[in-house]
Structure 1
Protein backbone atom coordinates (compact mmCIF):
# COMPACT_ATOMS: atom_id res chain seq x y z
CA UNK A 1 0.00 0.00 0.00
CA UNK A 2 1.45 3.37 -0.98
CA UNK A 3 0.98 6.36 1.22
CA UNK A 4 0.61 9.86 -0.11
CA UNK A 5 2.60 12.56 1.67
CA UNK A 6 0.53 14.74 3.98
CA UNK A 7 1.22 18.44 3.66
CA UNK A 8 0.35 21.16 6.09
CA UNK A 9 -1.75 24.01 4.72
CA UNK A 10 0.34 26.47 2.75
CA UNK A 11 2.20 29.02 4.83
CA UNK A 12 2.27 32.52 3.38
CA UNK A 13 2.06 34.56 6.59
CA UNK A 14 4.51 33.17 9.18
CA UNK A 15 8.07 34.36 8.52
CA UNK A 16 9.49 31.95 11.11
CA UNK A 17 8.66 28.97 8.86
CA UNK A 18 9.39 28.33 5.17
CA UNK A 19 6.83 29.93 2.85
CA UNK A 20 4.90 27.18 1.06
CA UNK A 21 2.27 26.83 -1.65
CA UNK A 22 -0.63 24.57 -2.65
CA UNK A 23 -1.16 25.90 -6.17
CA UNK A 24 0.95 27.53 -8.85
CA UNK A 25 0.85 29.22 -12.25
CA UNK A 26 2.57 27.63 -15.26
CA UNK A 27 4.03 28.74 -18.55
CA UNK A 28 6.42 27.48 -21.21
CA UNK A 29 8.54 29.02 -23.96
CA UNK A 30 10.88 27.67 -26.63
CA UNK A 31 13.92 29.20 -28.33
CA UNK A 32 16.03 27.79 -31.19
CA UNK A 33 13.70 24.80 -31.57
CA UNK A 34 11.32 23.28 -34.10
CA UNK A 35 7.85 22.06 -33.17
CA UNK A 36 8.18 22.32 -29.40
CA UNK A 37 5.15 20.98 -27.55
CA UNK A 38 4.59 21.15 -23.81
CA UNK A 39 1.66 19.23 -22.35
CA UNK A 40 0.76 19.87 -18.70
CA UNK A 41 -2.41 19.34 -16.73
CA UNK A 42 -4.09 17.87 -19.83
CA UNK A 43 -3.52 21.00 -21.93
CA UNK A 44 -0.93 22.26 -24.35
CA UNK A 45 1.02 25.03 -22.66
CA UNK A 46 3.00 25.32 -25.90
CA UNK A 47 2.49 23.94 -29.38
CA UNK A 48 4.87 25.42 -31.98
CA UNK A 49 4.96 24.95 -35.75
CA UNK A 50 7.13 21.91 -36.57
CA UNK A 51 8.59 23.58 -39.67
CA UNK A 52 9.51 26.99 -38.25
CA UNK A 53 12.57 27.61 -36.10
CA UNK A 54 11.58 29.43 -32.91
CA UNK A 55 13.53 32.68 -32.39
CA UNK A 56 16.86 32.58 -30.62
CA UNK A 57 16.87 33.86 -27.05
CA UNK A 58 20.02 35.82 -27.96
CA UNK A 59 17.92 38.07 -30.22
CA UNK A 60 15.79 39.06 -27.21
CA UNK A 61 18.62 40.41 -25.07
CA UNK A 62 20.43 39.24 -21.95
CA UNK A 63 17.39 39.62 -19.67
CA UNK A 64 14.98 37.81 -22.03
CA UNK A 65 13.77 35.50 -19.26
CA UNK A 66 12.60 38.36 -17.06
CA UNK A 67 10.81 40.04 -19.94
CA UNK A 68 9.47 37.11 -21.97
CA UNK A 69 8.81 34.13 -19.69
CA UNK A 70 5.26 34.28 -18.40
CA UNK A 71 2.84 31.89 -16.70
CA UNK A 72 -0.61 32.36 -18.23
CA UNK A 73 -2.10 29.16 -16.75
CA UNK A 74 -3.06 30.21 -13.21
CA UNK A 75 -4.31 28.43 -10.12
CA UNK A 76 -3.13 24.89 -10.90
CA UNK A 77 -3.41 22.68 -7.82
CA UNK A 78 -0.13 20.93 -6.97
CA UNK A 79 0.66 18.74 -9.02
CA UNK A 80 -1.52 17.18 -11.74
CA UNK A 81 1.24 15.02 -13.24
CA UNK A 82 4.50 15.39 -15.11
CA UNK A 83 5.14 17.86 -17.89
CA UNK A 84 5.59 16.09 -21.23
CA UNK A 85 7.91 17.88 -23.67
CA UNK A 86 8.87 17.09 -27.24
CA UNK A 87 10.87 19.17 -29.71
CA UNK A 88 13.60 19.23 -32.30
CA UNK A 89 16.74 21.15 -31.46
CA UNK A 90 18.28 23.67 -33.83
CA UNK A 91 20.27 20.88 -35.58
CA UNK A 92 17.05 18.92 -36.25
CA UNK A 93 17.57 16.20 -33.60
CA UNK A 94 14.35 14.98 -31.96
CA UNK A 95 14.03 15.05 -28.16
CA UNK A 96 11.46 14.04 -25.57
CA UNK A 97 11.37 14.60 -21.83
CA UNK A 98 9.10 14.16 -18.83
CA UNK A 99 9.66 16.66 -16.05
CA UNK A 100 8.23 15.70 -12.66
CA UNK A 101 7.39 19.02 -11.01
CA UNK A 102 6.05 17.23 -7.92
CA UNK A 103 9.55 15.86 -7.36
CA UNK A 104 11.30 19.16 -8.10
CA UNK A 105 9.00 20.97 -5.64
CA UNK A 106 8.50 18.10 -3.18
CA UNK A 107 8.99 20.44 -0.20
CA UNK A 108 6.40 22.90 -1.59
CA UNK A 109 8.70 25.78 -0.58
CA UNK A 110 8.33 29.09 -2.38
CA UNK A 111 11.83 29.76 -3.69
CA UNK A 112 12.93 33.33 -3.03
CA UNK A 113 15.97 35.41 -2.14
CA UNK A 114 14.50 37.71 0.48
CA UNK A 115 16.25 37.39 3.86
CA UNK A 116 13.83 36.63 6.69
CA UNK A 117 14.48 39.98 8.40
CA UNK A 118 13.51 41.81 5.18
CA UNK A 119 10.14 40.05 4.76
CA UNK A 120 7.05 42.22 5.24
CA UNK A 121 6.12 42.68 8.89
CA UNK A 122 2.62 41.22 8.55
CA UNK A 123 -0.03 39.97 6.16
CA UNK A 124 0.55 37.76 3.15
CA UNK A 125 4.30 37.49 2.66
CA UNK A 126 4.28 35.73 -0.72
CA UNK A 127 1.97 35.02 -3.63
CA UNK A 128 1.58 31.68 -5.42
CA UNK A 129 4.67 30.99 -7.51
CA UNK A 130 4.99 30.83 -11.25
CA UNK A 131 6.67 27.70 -12.56
CA UNK A 132 8.25 28.33 -15.94
CA UNK A 133 9.65 25.80 -18.38
CA UNK A 134 12.10 26.94 -21.03
CA UNK A 135 13.33 24.88 -23.96
CA UNK A 136 16.41 26.45 -25.48
CA UNK A 137 17.90 24.37 -28.33
CA UNK A 138 18.95 21.19 -26.47
CA UNK A 139 18.39 22.41 -22.89
CA UNK A 140 15.30 22.32 -20.69
CA UNK A 141 15.33 24.67 -17.73
CA UNK A 142 12.69 24.95 -15.01
CA UNK A 143 12.55 28.29 -13.21
CA UNK A 144 10.27 29.78 -10.61
CA UNK A 145 9.40 33.22 -9.36
CA UNK A 146 7.01 34.49 -6.74
CA UNK A 147 6.13 37.93 -5.55
CA UNK A 148 7.56 38.16 -2.04
CA UNK A 149 6.56 41.20 -0.01
CA UNK A 150 9.31 43.18 1.73
CA UNK A 151 9.44 45.63 4.63
CA UNK A 152 11.13 48.33 2.57
CA UNK A 153 10.68 49.48 -1.04
CA UNK A 154 13.16 47.86 -3.41
CA UNK A 155 13.33 51.01 -5.57
CA UNK A 156 14.24 54.08 -3.49
CA UNK A 157 11.43 56.61 -3.56
CA UNK A 158 8.86 54.17 -5.01
CA UNK A 159 6.52 53.14 -2.21
CA UNK A 160 4.86 50.62 -4.53
CA UNK A 161 8.06 48.57 -4.88
CA UNK A 162 7.78 46.72 -1.57
CA UNK A 163 8.30 43.28 -3.10
CA UNK A 164 10.80 41.12 -4.94
CA UNK A 165 9.99 38.85 -7.84
CA UNK A 166 13.30 37.07 -8.44
CA UNK A 167 13.64 34.43 -11.15
CA UNK A 168 15.27 31.32 -9.67
CA UNK A 169 16.52 28.27 -11.58
CA UNK A 170 15.33 24.97 -10.10
CA UNK A 171 16.43 22.44 -12.74
CA UNK A 172 18.33 22.25 -16.01
CA UNK A 173 19.26 19.38 -18.31
CA UNK A 174 20.92 19.38 -21.72
CA UNK A 175 19.97 16.61 -24.16
Structure 2
Protein backbone atom coordinates (compact mmCIF):
# COMPACT_ATOMS: atom_id res chain seq x y z
CA UNK A 1 0.00 0.00 0.00
CA UNK A 2 1.42 3.34 -0.97
CA UNK A 3 1.68 6.26 1.37
CA UNK A 4 -1.03 8.09 -0.59
CA UNK A 5 -3.44 5.15 -0.25
CA UNK A 6 -2.72 4.88 3.48
CA UNK A 7 -3.30 8.63 4.02
CA UNK A 8 -6.47 8.51 1.98
CA UNK A 9 -7.75 5.54 4.01
CA UNK A 10 -6.96 7.19 7.37
CA UNK A 11 -8.49 10.57 6.48
CA UNK A 12 -11.27 9.83 4.04
CA UNK A 13 -12.97 6.98 5.93
CA UNK A 14 -13.53 9.02 9.16
CA UNK A 15 -14.50 12.04 7.06
CA UNK A 16 -17.05 9.99 5.12
CA UNK A 17 -18.42 8.45 8.36
CA UNK A 18 -18.77 11.93 9.87
CA UNK A 19 -20.61 13.12 6.78
CA UNK A 20 -23.06 10.20 7.06
CA UNK A 21 -23.68 10.98 10.74
CA UNK A 22 -24.39 14.63 9.91
CA UNK A 23 -26.86 13.59 7.23
CA UNK A 24 -28.67 11.26 9.66
CA UNK A 25 -28.81 14.04 12.27
CA UNK A 26 -30.20 16.50 9.74
CA UNK A 27 -32.90 14.04 8.70
CA UNK A 28 -33.87 13.50 12.36
CA UNK A 29 -34.03 17.25 13.02
CA UNK A 30 -36.14 17.82 9.92
CA UNK A 31 -38.60 15.13 10.99
CA UNK A 32 -38.82 16.55 14.51
CA UNK A 33 -39.31 20.08 13.18
CA UNK A 34 -42.04 18.92 10.79
CA UNK A 35 -43.87 17.09 13.56
CA UNK A 36 -43.62 20.07 15.90
CA UNK A 37 -44.91 22.39 13.19
CA UNK A 38 -47.82 20.09 12.36
CA UNK A 39 -48.87 19.87 16.02
CA UNK A 40 -48.68 23.65 16.46
CA UNK A 41 -50.66 24.49 13.33
CA UNK A 42 -53.96 24.35 15.17
CA UNK A 43 -52.81 26.40 18.15
CA UNK A 44 -54.56 29.72 18.79
CA UNK A 45 -53.93 32.60 21.18
CA UNK A 46 -56.96 34.78 20.39
CA UNK A 47 -60.61 34.08 19.68
CA UNK A 48 -63.93 35.79 19.07
CA UNK A 49 -67.02 35.45 21.25
CA UNK A 50 -70.48 34.62 19.89
CA UNK A 51 -73.78 34.44 21.76
CA UNK A 52 -76.92 32.49 20.79
CA UNK A 53 -80.26 32.64 22.61
CA UNK A 54 -83.19 30.21 22.38
CA UNK A 55 -86.06 28.81 24.39
CA UNK A 56 -87.75 32.02 25.48
CA UNK A 57 -84.78 33.47 27.39
CA UNK A 58 -84.69 37.20 27.91
CA UNK A 59 -82.64 39.90 29.61
CA UNK A 60 -79.37 38.12 28.78
CA UNK A 61 -76.26 39.80 30.19
CA UNK A 62 -72.76 38.45 29.63
CA UNK A 63 -69.46 39.89 30.84
CA UNK A 64 -66.24 38.48 29.44
CA UNK A 65 -62.79 40.00 29.46
CA UNK A 66 -64.26 43.08 31.14
CA UNK A 67 -66.71 43.68 28.25
CA UNK A 68 -70.47 43.63 28.94
CA UNK A 69 -72.93 42.35 26.32
CA UNK A 70 -76.76 42.43 26.37
CA UNK A 71 -79.29 40.48 24.30
CA UNK A 72 -83.08 40.29 24.39
CA UNK A 73 -83.22 43.07 26.98
CA UNK A 74 -86.07 45.08 25.41
CA UNK A 75 -89.38 44.88 27.27
CA UNK A 76 -91.28 41.82 26.05
CA UNK A 77 -88.33 40.52 23.96
CA UNK A 78 -87.76 36.76 24.17
CA UNK A 79 -85.55 34.37 22.21
CA UNK A 80 -87.19 32.00 19.69
CA UNK A 81 -87.36 28.23 20.10
CA UNK A 82 -84.33 26.28 18.88
CA UNK A 83 -84.82 24.37 15.63
CA UNK A 84 -82.80 21.58 13.99
CA UNK A 85 -81.25 24.17 11.67
CA UNK A 86 -79.96 26.04 14.74
CA UNK A 87 -77.89 23.07 15.94
CA UNK A 88 -74.80 24.20 13.99
CA UNK A 89 -75.69 27.85 13.47
CA UNK A 90 -73.13 30.57 14.10
CA UNK A 91 -74.18 33.84 15.73
CA UNK A 92 -74.94 36.69 13.30
CA UNK A 93 -72.57 39.03 15.09
CA UNK A 94 -69.36 38.25 16.94
CA UNK A 95 -67.73 40.06 19.83
CA UNK A 96 -63.95 40.01 19.96
CA UNK A 97 -61.03 39.80 19.81
CA UNK A 98 -60.11 38.25 23.16
CA UNK A 99 -56.93 36.65 24.43
CA UNK A 100 -57.33 32.92 25.00
CA UNK A 101 -58.85 32.91 27.62
CA UNK A 102 -59.75 36.30 29.04
CA UNK A 103 -61.02 35.09 32.42
CA UNK A 104 -64.39 33.70 33.44
CA UNK A 105 -67.63 34.31 31.55
CA UNK A 106 -70.14 35.86 33.95
CA UNK A 107 -73.75 35.29 32.79
CA UNK A 108 -77.20 36.36 33.94
CA UNK A 109 -80.46 35.67 32.12
CA UNK A 110 -84.17 35.17 32.61
CA UNK A 111 -85.55 31.71 31.78
CA UNK A 112 -88.83 31.08 29.97
CA UNK A 113 -90.76 30.97 33.27
CA UNK A 114 -89.27 34.30 34.41
CA UNK A 115 -86.67 32.91 36.84
CA UNK A 116 -83.54 35.07 37.11
CA UNK A 117 -80.50 32.82 36.63
CA UNK A 118 -76.78 33.46 36.94
CA UNK A 119 -73.76 31.31 36.25
CA UNK A 120 -69.99 31.65 35.81
CA UNK A 121 -67.82 29.51 33.50
CA UNK A 122 -64.02 29.60 33.56
CA UNK A 123 -62.86 28.43 30.13
CA UNK A 124 -59.30 27.99 31.43
CA UNK A 125 -60.65 25.04 33.44
CA UNK A 126 -62.99 23.70 30.76
CA UNK A 127 -60.74 23.80 27.69
CA UNK A 128 -57.48 21.94 28.06
CA UNK A 129 -54.75 22.94 25.65
CA UNK A 130 -54.90 25.75 23.16
CA UNK A 131 -55.39 23.81 19.95
CA UNK A 132 -58.41 23.07 17.77
CA UNK A 133 -59.29 19.37 17.75
CA UNK A 134 -59.06 17.97 14.22
CA UNK A 135 -58.58 14.34 13.21
CA UNK A 136 -56.23 15.01 10.25
CA UNK A 137 -53.69 17.72 11.19
CA UNK A 138 -51.43 16.56 8.34
CA UNK A 139 -53.98 17.99 5.88
CA UNK A 140 -54.09 21.46 7.48
CA UNK A 141 -52.81 24.24 5.23
CA UNK A 142 -49.73 25.42 7.16
CA UNK A 143 -49.55 28.96 5.74
CA UNK A 144 -53.06 29.86 6.89
CA UNK A 145 -54.84 27.13 8.87
CA UNK A 146 -57.82 29.24 10.00
CA UNK A 147 -60.33 30.97 7.73
CA UNK A 148 -61.13 33.32 10.63
CA UNK A 149 -60.25 33.29 14.31
CA UNK A 150 -61.70 30.46 16.39
CA UNK A 151 -64.95 31.39 18.16
CA UNK A 152 -66.26 30.58 21.61
CA UNK A 153 -70.03 30.26 21.14
CA UNK A 154 -72.11 30.54 24.31
CA UNK A 155 -75.69 29.34 23.88
CA UNK A 156 -78.58 30.03 26.25
CA UNK A 157 -81.64 27.78 25.90
CA UNK A 158 -84.20 28.29 28.69
CA UNK A 159 -82.31 27.05 31.80
CA UNK A 160 -79.32 25.50 29.96
CA UNK A 161 -76.08 27.23 29.09
CA UNK A 162 -73.71 25.53 26.63
CA UNK A 163 -70.31 26.57 25.27
CA UNK A 164 -68.70 25.40 22.02
CA UNK A 165 -65.26 25.96 20.48
CA UNK A 166 -65.85 26.56 16.77
CA UNK A 167 -63.29 27.00 13.99
CA UNK A 168 -63.24 26.94 10.19
CA UNK A 169 -60.06 25.29 8.87
CA UNK A 170 -58.34 25.31 5.49
CA UNK A 171 -57.15 21.84 4.54
CA UNK A 172 -55.42 20.25 1.58
CA UNK A 173 -57.97 18.50 -0.68
CA UNK A 174 -58.05 14.72 -0.80
CA UNK A 175 -58.17 14.95 -4.60
CA UNK A 176 -54.62 15.91 -5.66
CA UNK A 177 -55.96 17.28 -8.96
CA UNK A 178 -58.06 19.89 -7.16
CA UNK A 179 -56.38 23.30 -7.26
CA UNK A 180 -58.22 24.91 -4.32
CA UNK A 181 -58.21 24.24 -0.60
CA UNK A 182 -61.12 22.61 1.18
CA UNK A 183 -62.73 24.23 4.21
CA UNK A 184 -63.98 22.16 7.14
CA UNK A 185 -65.84 23.16 10.28
CA UNK A 186 -64.75 22.06 13.72
CA UNK A 187 -67.37 22.39 16.51
CA UNK A 188 -66.44 21.01 19.92
CA UNK A 189 -68.72 20.97 22.96
CA UNK A 190 -66.66 22.30 25.88
CA UNK A 191 -69.30 22.97 28.55
CA UNK A 192 -72.99 22.42 29.33
CA UNK A 193 -75.02 23.03 32.47
CA UNK A 194 -78.73 23.12 33.23
CA UNK A 195 -79.72 25.24 36.24
Q: TM-score, normalised by structure 1?
A: 0.75
Q: Would the aligned equivalents of 2:49 and 2:153 in 1 still touch at CA under 8 Å?
A: yes
What secondary structure, in the 3-state scheme, does the structure 1 residue paired with 2:88 have?
Answer: helix
The residue aligned with 1:102 is 124
Is 1:172 the counterpart of 2:192? The answer is yes
Per-residue CA distance 1:118-159 (angstroms, 9 max, x = gap): 333x323235310010110010000121121111179xxx96
Gaps of 5+ in 1: 1-12
The residue aligned with 1:48 is 72
Per-residue CA distance 1:41-77 (angstroms, 9 max, x = gap): 222233432643523233xx31214334256223211
Per-residue CA distance 1:60-98 (angstroms, 9 max, x = gap): x31214334256223211222211101121112221101
Give the ranges of 4+ consecutive aligned residues of structure 1 lying more than 3 Å apart after TM superposition: 65-68, 158-161
The residue aligned with 2:20 is none
Report the structure number with the largest CA radius of gyration. Answer: 2
Per-residue CA distance 1:7-66 (angstroms, 9 max, x = gap): xxxxxx9224572111111121222212111111222233432643523233xx312143
Distance in 2 between residues matched to 1:124 and 1:14, nearest whole Å: 13
Greater helix percent: which structure? 2
What secondary structure, in the 3-state scheme, does the structure 2 residue paired with 1:128 have?
Answer: coil
The residue aligned with 2:95 is 73
What secondary structure, in the 3-state scheme, does the structure 1 residue paired with 2:38 have?
Answer: coil
Distance in 1 between residues matched to 2:152 and 2:103, nearest whole Å: 14
Is 1:144 the counterpart of 2:165? The answer is yes
RMSD between superposed Cα atoms in Å: 2.8
